[in-house]
A and B are shown apart, each in its own frame.
Chain A
Amino acid sequence: MVELSGVSRWYGNVVAVNDVSMALGPGVTGLLGPNGAGKTTVLHMMAGLLAPSRGMVTVTGQPAWRNPRIYADLGLVSEREAAHGFLSGEEYVLSAARLHRLPDPKAAARRALSLVEMTSAADRRIETYSKGMRQRVRVAAALVHEPQILLLDEPFNGMDPRQRLHMMDLLHHMGAAGRMVLFSSHILEEVSQVSGTVQVMVAGRLAASGEFRTIRRLMTNRPHVFAVRSSDDRALAVALMHEASVTGIDLDQSAGLTVRAGDYGTFARRLPKVAAETGIRVRQLQPTDESLESVFSYLVAS
């Protein structure tokens, strides 16, 4: 439904998106990557609001750039887009329905507002809304014409846990109904809860793509670094060196042990046993490179 082939986008001499190709079909896809990875740029190019510097973006077979017809099949919730504060939520969604020239704009607006659970606050002005409410009313405006393709830029930002759950549910249902839903996020957890397939972007490049579980495994089976503190660091280091899952240990008198493990799962299972066998008390076990960035940089390097 949406296809990118060899797409790059640069601003001056800064490359925001570097030679990305992907083909997206029905279902929910997560666009995962740290901030500044080029996710927003990709979404804007898909939505025809930015020209690719090189390559081609097509939406339902048509070029996305300079082609307003694509918006009949496409809805966009851009993080950068603001809502008119002086309109009520209902006016905002209703106007969107009218701009899409729907045959029954009022019914379409009502349906969209109830989908995002904004019916009760619909007659309030948008400037009185919380961030999460604004986000939901913008989602309602984006899907008022029941588009086949829905693009959302960081849709869960500013939502409380309950709203987040509801939004995830909504996206999931839309995907199950055969629509294409693509949402960006820099939070691994969000992506894992909603989408089956993931496109991972790092520094403008497509680092990995495919089933979420495959990528998850790739992420957990990579080398890990742990900070360990115990009652006897030196003795623990000696014991751990016998373990096949451990690839290296640094010993520092003040900071404790830095253990490099080749296999996350095995090391996590072995450490308590080793400690129990040697009678050493482990006071602290902390993964030191769990930030998404390190996961991403690992994916890029592999």
Chain B
Amino acid sequence: MTVETPTPAPAKPSKGFLINSTIARITSRSLIGRRRFLLLLPLPLLLIGLAALADGLGARPDEWATPVLVGLGFAVVLPVIALIVGTGVLGAEIDDNTLVYVLATPQPRQRIVLTKLLVAIAVTVLTAGPGLFLAGLITGSVRLAAGLAVGGAVGAVVYSALFVVLSLLTRRPVLIGLAYLLIWEGTLTNLLSGTRVLSIQQYALSVGDAVAHSSLVTATVSTPVALIMSAVVTVGATWLAIDRLRSFSVAGETS
């Protein structure tokens, strides 16, 4: 057996790409291969099915559109998919100790976070988007469908950034994320008017409403506020995630 004498550092200089295709490929394959992810697929189908059922029974859209599109689509389908996907791209790899593989390379940490965030957003949009779009189409018009899809995409971005950073702040991101969705998004923002400006669901609805111009979808925050807050939360969460990943510690011997 022979071992070559060390060659002087052959690595190419790290260029300024914000994402890395190898990380993206491994992340998406590992995400789609997880059983937890497959359990999500019925959710958009349920949304479409309910809309089709209500429509088929001949009820007027304004009687059922809000509970189905907002109550199910924006309050359950979108955030739950974003939660499972967003915690899956990073949190699941922390759980099963595969993250060290990527961390033990000179890849800049911002590139790892941005790549994984992009995968999370793309998968969430591709999973939840068609369901929202089709449900909108069944309920009303192409315009409503487009509004729901755009609003859903905005929600996917903000939720994904939030759940990715959550994976780095706690070892129980799914549990904490679920509690956040149920308690904060589900209950408090409906009871306390002051907290509505801090609801990702309201940002998504507000943007969707601006595109759809429909009385079926309404939000409690104005569109400019929704856009600015979405950007602030996304950038802040992503920045924090990058910083936390730089300080990522493997679990200790005694823990």
Q: Which residues of A contact B (CB under 8 A)?
A: 9, 11, 14, 16, 36, 38, 40-41, 44, 47, 49-51, 66, 68-76, 78, 80-84, 86-87, 95-96, 98-103, 111, 115, 141-142, 145-146, 148, 169-170, 173-174, 176-179
Are A83 and B9 interface neighbours, CB within 8 A?
no
Judged by a CB distance under 8 angstroms, whether B246 is at the interface is yes
A-B contact pairs, 16 of them (CB 8 A): A16-B254, A40-B253, A44-B249, A68-B103, A68-B106, A68-B107, A68-B109, A70-B106, A71-B106, A76-B104, A83-B101, A84-B98, A86-B33, A99-B105, A173-B3, A178-B6
A240–B115 Cα distance when bound, in Å, is: 74
Most buried by A among B26, B105, B107: B105
Are A177 and B6 interface neighbours, CB within 8 A?
yes
Q: Which interface class (under 10, 10 to 19, 20 to 34, 35 or more) fits B?
A: 35 or more
Judged by a CB distance under 8 angstroms, whether B4 is at the interface is yes
Are B106 and A95 interface neighbours, CB within 8 A?
no
Are B98 and A66 interface neighbours, CB within 8 A?
no
Closest-CB distance, A55 to chain B (whole angstroms) = 16
Question: Of A49, A71, A83, A96, which one neighbours B250 at CB under 8 angstroms?
Answer: A49
Q: Which residues of B contact A (CB under 8 A)?
A: 1-7, 9-12, 14, 20, 22-23, 25-26, 29-30, 33, 96-98, 100-109, 246-255
Q: How many contacts A-B (CB < 8 Å)?
A: 126
A70–B96 Cα distance when bound, in Å, is: 24
A102–B253 Cα distance when bound, in Å, is: 33
Question: Of B5, B9, B97, B98, which one neighbours A72 at CB under 8 angstroms?
Answer: B9
A96–B11 Cα distance when bound, in Å, is: 12
Closest-CB distance, A5 to chain B (whole angstroms) = 20
Are B247 and A81 interface neighbours, CB within 8 A?
no
Are B4 and A146 interface neighbours, CB within 8 A?
yes
Closest-CB distance, A80 to chain B (whole angstroms) = 5
Closest-CB distance, A125 to chain B (whole angstroms) = 11
A208–B81 Cα distance when bound, in Å, is: 54
Are A170 and B100 interface neighbours, CB within 8 A?
no
A66–B7 Cα distance when bound, in Å, is: 26
Are A86 and B29 interface neighbours, CB within 8 A?
yes
A9–B249 Cα distance when bound, in Å, is: 12
Are A99 and B107 interface neighbours, CB within 8 A?
yes
| A contact residues around B3 at 8 Å (CB) | 115, 170, 173-174, 176-177
Are A80 and B6 interface neighbours, CB within 8 A?
no
A44–B100 Cα distance when bound, in Å, is: 11
Chain B residue at minimal CB-CB distance from A35: B253
Are B23 and A82 interface neighbours, CB within 8 A?
no
Chain B residue at minimal CB-CB distance from A41: B253
With A14-B254, A49-B250, A82-B97 known as contacts, the answer to whether A169 contacts B1 (CB < 8 A) is yes
| B contact residues around A71 at 8 Å (CB) | 104-106
A51–B247 Cα distance when bound, in Å, is: 8
A76–B250 Cα distance when bound, in Å, is: 13
